[in-house]
Structure 1
């Protein structure tokens, strides 16, 4: 098969001086980036890395991440991107579980490296760490590895770890073929071309900024601009200064500048042709607010998950307001989506079922977890997402809950997200989680755990009265628990297994 390393080399031959990557430190042409990947391969090989070894990347959005990735792939090694917001023991688990041989770490994360010093070999990037080999300096001094490389399409390119909302994170095995297909599908769904300038402001260790948008842009021969770490001010300033044409972010990435920066009219967003967002839908009013604030209504919603590349579905800009809250009705190019009921049949309009996906970008399975892998796929190779969605009369999908979070009380299904959304609408509520708790008569009872905004007060009865016209009686929580904070992952996902156990 054709692999990503070979395609990058082709760009380096055909458009050697074209900008491939811009960071705060320097610009990298396609020739320089390909040469840097060859130099990185020599450095990694000198540190004992070969085919089949695992190289962890614990970095911010820097050139070191991309060079180490390209170098590892040239050697036939597997990369393991790690969330830089994790703490020492969490990183230790991933390093051990993935059997990482070498970790390239940003110097700003020296304390995490020190905590895990005995876990594997270490190289520093971006900022030097005393006593640790300097990856950047060694790459600059290295001789570029010669020769072409042909990678096995089914060999493992990446081990991407899930956020661990149900326990320990699982390692998703993505092949070189899956990574390439993901980049191609993402590029096709957003019409990326060689003229695009893509801002990567979200952490590149996330599957979407990495596989969809970084690799998708390079695949098409476009230009990447890395923001080392997101901040609202730097985000809008870079969009304007760099004449960015495409970017991706969680909804909060677009909403935060409205509160922190304020008036955006002084920034020039006229080059933007498309804003992509994922990780949660936006309501119609919020879509209108963003369009007004950014003076551009080209917002596209993308849905997917680590296990699928991440590929899934798209809600296009022309649908954003009329179908606000939906994830779309059709898969990204190459992806087929079905919503199935508990008997395995396709759901009809108005029904709720589980989303199943099939595409070339889906993972090979979970690392060292055959039981979880078998549970994730049906006999025909469809991936069971665990997301429950309702289909409307026009075929659009609306996520209503995670399958494991659905509550069955007195024989009635209660979708926790629906209840959470209703409670979150109360002006005194800052954060909320809804879970089921075992009940001897009802099977489960609905429990809401809430965090109030500062200087706010709210009683159980006041909240029940607020919810009464919004929810059926059986959906209104029987128990309210007031908390100082709710446990979340570093990416903001609720740890409901922790809440259920509390």
Structure 2
């Protein structure tokens, strides 16, 4: 089904019902529908039409959702952009996606520095940002009358380009059709037994695939209510749940762990919650027990998936959260097939390690402008190669043990070591660089740079961080720097990162108190 047809059906069933809570504001389904039609006219007045790419670099705000729906009404393609990225990273995505227009929050420092051929529109609070040099999307929507809109595009038309990191260090754009995104929403709403009575808190960045496709579109499909938290903060997270009687929410494990450090955690009324969903890394038994004890519930569900798959994959349901702690489950979500295979494609027996592969109607069409990477991502019979290595236990539960690619997952954010290495290598004090992930009890992993200094140089860690500050999003910048004489390489020059992980990849101490500083 086309996503606009899906949304309009919900709006016709529940026109006066609250669709969205945002701070003190509330929007009904009919109001968001009308505003999205006005947004479509604003975009069309600036040359956007069917197939054009509309980028959105925003916090979790009503006008992100209004912009997405407005673009989709025109048959345009939505390109969500990570609001933590720096100037060169944003410019690459706008250029690579051939974005016709970009809606960007004026509170972002990068907003005034981007160089692009795309038309720029600001969103958010314009106070103190009057000199940005481009029009304000929110105001234009409020002042513009909706014109006659085109008929919805077909189900197989492109709906999104979702960017994820690639092995070359540059992001890759995953192409998702309306049908694929609808499938993701349908599967997730079914897996959670969602109804129109549910209230879903979107606290993680909405430009991520799961908050957008799984939980936002899943809620819209069922006629439920969304609660947007502009940006995650532990106290704001708890307050939003209590104030709006939230029933469902999703976050990285750190988003559930960080509130436990608040002295008044127990004073917040969380009794409305029926399910806490987490992803981006498993929870060990001790941490799962701690969460259940402090939140006074056993209703924690882990989901595993990736952007290329919708994101859909497997789930570890509440009844197994302690018994199989650390697992990503044994059951795939409805409509998803999963297998773990050896290098020769044969099924992996219990106790052995193989690659997780998945297949679903929600899978991406391919990578934008990268036929070679698209071919490499799939087996000849259509299974997506996740790149994750997993062990299967005697009961059929999957445990991720390593990655074929050098992906680092920190606080639910994906960091590719190659991208960080490419940014750090030009520093004049460095002769060689390798970036690895070190296990961390709260973040999943923390980014570590192993560096070889040039003769006579003594690199300073703070200077290296400053060197990267305008090149990489903050969560990608290494927290620790380990100095070595040489990096282990094969005779052909290939870096042997497994030796680095074994030698210096010891787990880091818990640093929950630094949550806000690190992921600001």
Q: What TM-score range do you get, normalising by the shorter chain?
A: 0.7 to 0.9
- Is the aligned partner of 1:275 residue 2:276? yes
Aligned partner of 1:38 in structure 2 is 37
Q: How does 1:34-433 map to 2 (within 5 A)?
A: 34-109=33-108, 111-128=109-126, 129-130=129-130, 131-146=133-148, 149-164=151-166, 166-259=168-261, 261-405=262-406
| CA displacement at 1:434 relative to structure 2 | 9.6
Task: Verify the 8 A CA contact 2:196 2:222 in the aligned structure 1.
Answer: yes
SS of equivalent residue, structure 2 residue 107: helix
- Give the Cα separation in 1 of the matches to 2:213 and 2:100: 23
| CA displacement at 1:163 relative to structure 2 | 3.5
Task: Verify the 8 A CA contact 2:95 2:116 in the aligned structure 1.
Answer: no
- Give the Cα separation in 1 of the matches to 2:171 and 2:295: 36
SS of equivalent residue, structure 1 residue 108: coil
- Give the Cα separation in 2 of the matches to 1:356 and 1:42: 42
Task: Verify the 8 A CA contact 2:181 2:310 in the aligned structure 1.
Answer: yes
| CA displacement at 1:119 relative to structure 2 | 3.0
| CA displacement at 1:423 relative to structure 2 | 7.0
Aligned partner of 2:429 in structure 1 is none
| CA displacement at 1:274 relative to structure 2 | 0.2
**Length-normalised TM-score, structure 2:** 0.80
- Give the Cα separation in 1 of the matches to 2:438 and 2:120: 48
Task: Verify the 8 A CA contact 1:244 1:272 in the aligned structure 2.
Answer: yes
**Stretches (4+) displaced over 6 A:** 420-423, 433-436
- Give the Cα separation in 1 of the matches to 2:169 and 2:398: 28
- Is the aligned partner of 1:14 residue 2:13? yes
Task: Verify the 8 A CA contact 2:75 2:152 in the aligned structure 1.
Answer: no
**Length-normalised TM-score, structure 1:** 0.82
| CA displacement at 1:113 relative to structure 2 | 2.4
Bigger mean CA deviation after superposition, 120-129 or 352-361: 120-129
Aligned partner of 1:497 in structure 2 is none
Instruction: Name structure 2 gaps, 5 residues minimum.
Output: 408-435, 452-486, 509-515
- Of residues 421, 430, 437, the one that matches 2:488 is 437
Change (3 A) 1:60 1:144: same
| CA displacement at 1:149 relative to structure 2 | 2.7
Deviations 1:396-447 (A, max 9, x none): 00001111359xxxxxxxxxxxxx999768xxx9876899932459995743
Change (3 A) 1:116 1:434: closer
Aligned partner of 1:500 in structure 2 is none
Change (3 A) 1:434 1:292: farther
Change (3 A) 1:12 1:445: closer
- Give the Cα separation in 2 of the matches to 1:164 and 1:57: 21
Aligned partner of 1:448 in structure 2 is 500
Give the aligned CA root-mean-square deviation in angstroms. Answer: 2.8
